[in-house]
Each structure stands twice: as C-alpha cells, then as structure tokens.
Amino acid sequence: MSTRVRIADVAAAAGVSTATVSRTLSSPGIVGEETRARVMAAVAATGYRINAAARDLRRQQPRAILVLAPNLANTFFSRIIAAIQDVAGQAGLAVQISDSRAGTDMLETMVQGGRADGIVLLDGALRPEMVRNWKLPVIQLCEWNDDYALPGLQIDNAAAARVAVNHLGDLGHTRILHVAGPSENVLSHARRAGFEDAMAARGLSPEIHQGGFTIEAGAAAAHAWANIADRPTAVFTASDECAFGFISECYRLGFKVPRDVSVIGFDDVDFAGHFLPPLTTIHQPRARLGRQAAERLVSALQSGTPLGAGYDQIPPHLVIRSSTSACSASKRTAEQSLRT
C-alpha cells in the first residue's frame, strides 16, 4: 500500500530522464545499450509497474479487447475465451471478460469507457439500439443478431441441423422430434429452420417440442416425448445439456438410449464423450472459433482498417458416438423395456 513507484522514480534511480525510461520500455531499440541496461536495472530495483490509466489516457488506446458473454456459467465459453486470450496475448493486447447481462450502465461504461479497443460479442440478445451505438469495432461470435449490423463468425447452424437429420434419416428413422431451444434465441431459430428444411427435403413431417438449452428443459421434453402415443424414434436436441437431461429422464422413465430412442445433441461439450451413452452430437470447434474471431479483430485493430461486414460460417461436423443407432423396425414399448 506504500506509494506506488512512478516513472520519475525510475528515471531518478537510473540518472536519466523520464522520456528515456519510457522509450526503454516501449521501444528498446532506440536507446543506447548502456543506458538501457541502467534503466532496466532501475526498473527491477524499484519494482516499477507502468500505470495503465496514465498510459491509456496519453495513448488514447488501451490495447485491450473486451469479451462479452451472456453467462459465464456456461462451460461452453471457456475454451473460446482461452483461444481469444492466446491470440490477443501474442499481439500484446490484454483481454477483459465481462458479463453482458451485468446491467446496461455497467456495460456502457465498459464499452464506451475507453478501456477497450475492440469487442468480441458472444451475446445476440442485447438491445440493438445500444449495440449499434457502440463506436468500437465489434465482432459477433457464435450468436448473432442481424439488427446489430455487425460482422460475425459462427458455425453453420442450419447446415448442422441438416446433417443431424440426415444422419438419423440414414439410420432409418422417419419420426424425428426436435427439442428446440429458447424461442427468442437466434441459434434456436437457425437450428430449427435447418431441421425443418432437412425434414421437408426427405419428405418427412417435422415434429417440434418447444424446449430450451438446459438440463431441465431436456428432462421436461422427455416427459412430453414419453406421452406421445406413437413416439418418435429419434430426437435432435438444441444443445448437449438438453440432450443429457432428456436421456437421464428417459432412463428414469424406463426407456433406454439408443434402444428406444436415438438422440443427437449440439455443441460437443467436454462431457459429451463421457456420458452414458457417449453422445452423438454436432461439434463446435471452440478453440478455432475463438482464435479466428480474435485474429480478425486484432488484424483490423492493427491495420486500422474497419472489420469487413458479413458472417463467416464454419461448416458443421457431426461426431458419431453411441446415442444413435439404426431404427429397429420392431419397436418395443416402454413396458417391455422395463422388464429387461
């Protein structure tokens, strides 16, 4: 808590001017070798740490990027953020992470307060008037919102849903239920649209249960599914969590996966491969998404050119594990399942 060391203290200790210290630290090449050594020694001796506020104020450039995520609770974001940190770190930029739902005021202060040069936005549900008003370069990642009129990057969610349907169709399933995500979410819409397309293309009639991304939503969907007289033989859920909830509840109700119902998730979270049964799911290359978004933002920042417009879409990849299997022509009832 002692008074902080200022650049002037280092300068005094090294017997040079503050300008020289500053130059030694930011562009070592232009100071004499001997001077540089003396300054470095003084820095070490005094334990000097640059004052970020002063530097940012003068430079008018905080050299940081801000990551806004709607819910840090979501395991999903962690790896993305790690990748962003990686790219940013290489470029000498700091990374700040903030909850995009922390309240408008706090958010505006973070964004407009001059603490960041650019933003990676993982939330598509903020007020468009607010987002459009931001004066910093922003890139949307994973989620998006056309009303923001911003560039973005995501996997091709609709195509992913089509791949899922085709996998199930190829296994012989004709009655496929989609447990859709929250109705207000863009990802839900895209996945649902892709599902409907693919079903139509195969001449099948889509069945949809309005669900959510959570375990609870999946469990509820399992009950709804179990109550259908002529039950669909396959389910495509809006997220892995939802699939976990669905499958767990199925077992509790006496059904088995994939024997009684095949299930495909979405995201390929860490746990998906270890679940019982290991979950067939759409893989989201989280490290790649984070890296690519960060690279695009960083290069725009460094070159001073604005970010291009439009969305980059990464083609989907289905990871086939054991929660899906061929549709058995002879269907068993739940009662039979229980007996085994």
Partner DNA sequence: CAGCCTCCTGTAATCGATTACATCAGCGTC
Partner DNA sequence: GACGCTGATGTAATCGATTACAGGAGGCTG
Note the residues at the interface with DNA (CB under 7 A).
4, 6-8, 15-20, 22-23, 25-26, 30-32, 34-36, 48, 50-51, 54-55, 57-60
> What does 30 bind: a copy of itself, DNA, none (CB cut-off 5 to 8 Å by kind)?
DNA
Residue 6's binding partner among DNA, a copy of itself, none (Cβ under 5 to 8 angstroms by kind) is DNA
Q: How far is the CB of 189 from a copy of itself (least distance, A)?
A: 25
Query: Which tokens sit at 139?
Result: 């890139």
Beta carbons within 8 Å of 106's beta carbon, 6+ residues apart: 98
Using CA atoms, how far apart are residues 237 and 321, in angstroms rounded to an integer? 15
**Which option in a copy of itself, DNA, none does residue 314 bind, with CB closer than 5 to 8 A by kind?**
none
Could you tell me which stretch among 164-172, 196-204, 268-276, 291-299 binds a copy of itself (CB under 8 A)?
268-276
Which phi and psi angles does 121 have, rounded to 5°?
Answer: -110, 115
List phi, psi (to 5°) of 266. -150, 125
| Interaction of residue 72 with a copy of itself, rule CB under 8 A | yes
Burial of 1 (0-12, 13-18, 19+ CB in 10 A): exposed
Nearer to a copy of itself, 169 or 181 (CB): 181
Residue 106 makes contact with a copy of itself by CB under 8 A? yes
Of 330, 161, 164, 162, the C-alpha closest to 262 is 164
Question: In this complex, which beta carbon is closest to DNA, that of residue 47 or of residue 273?
Answer: 47
Cα 78 to Cα 55: distance, rounded to the nearest angstrom: 30
Q: How far apart are CA 264 and CA 165, in angstroms?
A: 9
84-87, Cβ contacts within 8 angstroms, sequence gap of 24 or more? 84/120, 84/290, 84/291, 84/293, 84/294, 86/290, 86/291, 86/294, 87/290, 87/291, 87/294, 87/295, 87/298
Measured from the CB of residue 33, what is the shortest distance to DNA in angstroms? 7
We find the least distance from the C-beta atom of residue 63 to DNA, in angstroms, to be 10
* Shortest separation between residue 126's beta carbon and DNA, angstroms: 24
Please select the residue that binds a copy of itself; options are 12, 91, 94, 314, rule is CB under 8 A. 94
Which stretch in 28-36, 43-51, 189-197, 290-298 sits in contact with a copy of itself by CB under 8 A?
Answer: 43-51
Extract the tokens encoding 33. 């070798």
Complex with a copy of itself: residue 67 or 198, whichever CB lies closer = 67
Phi/psi region, residue 72 (left: phi>0; alpha: psi -120 to 50; beta: rest), is alpha
8 binds, among a copy of itself, DNA, none (CB under 5 to 8 A by kind): DNA
What are the structure tokens assigned to 180, written together? Answer: 């859709």
Closest approach of Cβ 11 to DNA, in Å? 7
Which residue in 15, 28, 32, 89 binds a copy of itself (CB under 8 A)?
Answer: 89
Question: Which entry of a copy of itself, DNA, none binds 133, CB below 5 to 8 A by partner kind?
Answer: a copy of itself
Helix (H) or strand (E) holding 59: helix 52-59
Strand partners, 263: 235
| Integer Cα distance of 4 and 331 in angstroms | 75
Of DNA, a copy of itself, none, which one sits near residue 174, judging by CB under 5 to 8 A according to partner kind? none
Report the C-alpha gap between 234 and 236 in whole angstroms. Answer: 7
The residues, any chain, with a CB within 8 Å of residue 237's CB and separated by 6 or more, are: 178, 179, 211, 218, 221, 243, 246, 263, 264, 265, 266
Among 54, 200, 201, 338, binds a copy of itself (CB under 8 A): 54
Q: Does 126 bind a copy of itself (CB under 8 A)?
A: no
Q: Is 12 in the site for a copy of itself (CB under 8 A)?
A: no
Site residues, a copy of itself (CB under 8 A): 1-2, 4, 47, 49-54, 56-57, 62, 71-75, 77-79, 81-82, 85, 89, 94-99, 102-103, 106, 108-110, 112-115, 133, 135, 215, 219, 244-245, 248, 251-252, 270-271, 274-276, 306
